[in-house]
Structure 1
Amino acid sequence: MSFFEDYNLDEIKNEVEEVAFRELERQLRAIRNEDICKCIDCVQDMACFALNQIKPRYAVSLLGSIFTKVETETLIKDIETVVQKSIEKISQNPLHSKS
């Protein structure tokens, strides 16, 4: 058997991802500016850029998940700021031509 067959790693979850994705969605919905590209490539780049700047909070159990969610909620202002900067950065430097 292989490592991945012996151990179920699918249950490991980074609790920060969900918070960051919700914040990215909230901020993008609030932006009416047509200069900001919201194509799938740009939004994925924004998400990756933001997540690479936020310390991950991994959990595998319900108790661990509750603990990390509480810890993550205390960082919401930091996550809001990182997401805002990620939107600005990717919008100014998309990996495709602006059209």
Structure 2
Amino acid sequence: MTGCITVFIRTSPFNPQEPQYQRAASIKFDAATQDTRTLIGTANCLLTEIFKAGYGYLMCVLTQPGPSAVIHLASNSVLCATGSCLKPVI
């Protein structure tokens, strides 16, 4: 069960010749949920709000409060981390 999720995207800080961009968006649900349709749909909406075409993204991360899998979508690696619940930043 989770009460909020955060989506984060960023370009590579190790390539200063490329345009740089990073942004995060969070949302707190009215009621905690474990419905993956709700979580994935909400994550896609948040990503749509912060995504800008034309950048070479290094990673896209989806987190939730407590122990969670942070998925490094731009590559094949999966990292473990702990997310935190933030106020909406959209």
Q: Where is the helix percentage greater, Structure 1 or Structure 2?
A: 1
Greater Rg, structure 1 or structure 2? 1
Answer 1 or 2: which has greater strand percent: 2
Task: Give the TM-score normalised by the residue count of structure 2.
Answer: 0.34
TM-score by length of 1: 0.31
Greater length-normalized contact order (CA 8 Å, ≥ 6 residues apart): 1
